[in-house]
Amino acid sequence: MFHKEGHKIIFVTLVIVVGSFFLIDEFILNEWLRKGLMIAVLAFFILILQFFRNPKRNTHANEMQALSPVDGKVVVIEEVMENEVFKDKRIQVSVFMSPINVHVTRHPISGRVSYSKYHPGKYLVAWHPKASEENERTTVVVENQHFGKVLYRQIAGALAKRIVNYAKVDSLAIQGRDSGFIKFGSRVDLFLPLDAEIKVELNQKVRGGETVIAEMK
């Protein structure tokens, strides 16, 4: 299954691949060069397909838990001051996505979307310390009675040129369901209450909609 954000790109890429095959077959006379170019073009198409894949996830809904919003590797776990919405200290957990990860963003908790905002910005590498404040990004807050408020921030990286965010203020967020997409490498920051018990470690690989990031004590 492929994400809807990739349908147009996949179609255009397929047309280019088919056209390239005809041109290579027509104008490249050297057999080894012809086969090598065809393999390279096919490999490129497979990479595009892999990037836009949208696998089903086995989400076990639990209002006392916050799940990872994306696939990737945990690169930050620390107490920080969150200045955009909460204006107080939170536990930040950041997940870095490489270009080969699934790039679907999923709601970490179920509840009401109380804040959703897009910020234009730079395209610093996703692990840059200032990426969270200066890069193109979206900020979403979901709240429920049991977990409280959870903020997650989609952050564009050096390769990401478009962030898609489906969360609308006052809409219902369902844990594990699609909430957006980031194209070509990025990271997501999760800001949790200070009394949340963190269930992951640095450099741990996580799966969006499945891995428990935190649990209320």
DSSP 135: B
Residues 21-69 have pLDDT tens digits of 888 888 888 889 988 898 999 998 887 887 777 788 889 889 899 999 9
Distances (CA, A) of 138 to 29, 129, 156: 50, 17, 9
Q: Would you name the residues annotated as active-site residues? A: 186
Residues 126-169 have pLDDT tens digits of 555 666 666 788 999 999 988 899 999 998 866 555 788 999 99
24-28, 60-64, 105-109, 183-187 — most confident range: 105-109
Among the residue ranges 79-83, 159-163, 171-175, 199-203, the one predicted with the least confidence is 159-163
Q: What is the distance between the alpha carbons of residues 20 and 152, in angstroms, rounded to a whole number?
A: 41
How is residue 72 written in tokens?
Answer: 């990737």
Distances (CA, A) of 198 to 92, 108, 150, 217: 10, 14, 13, 10
- Residue 126 has a pLDDT of 57
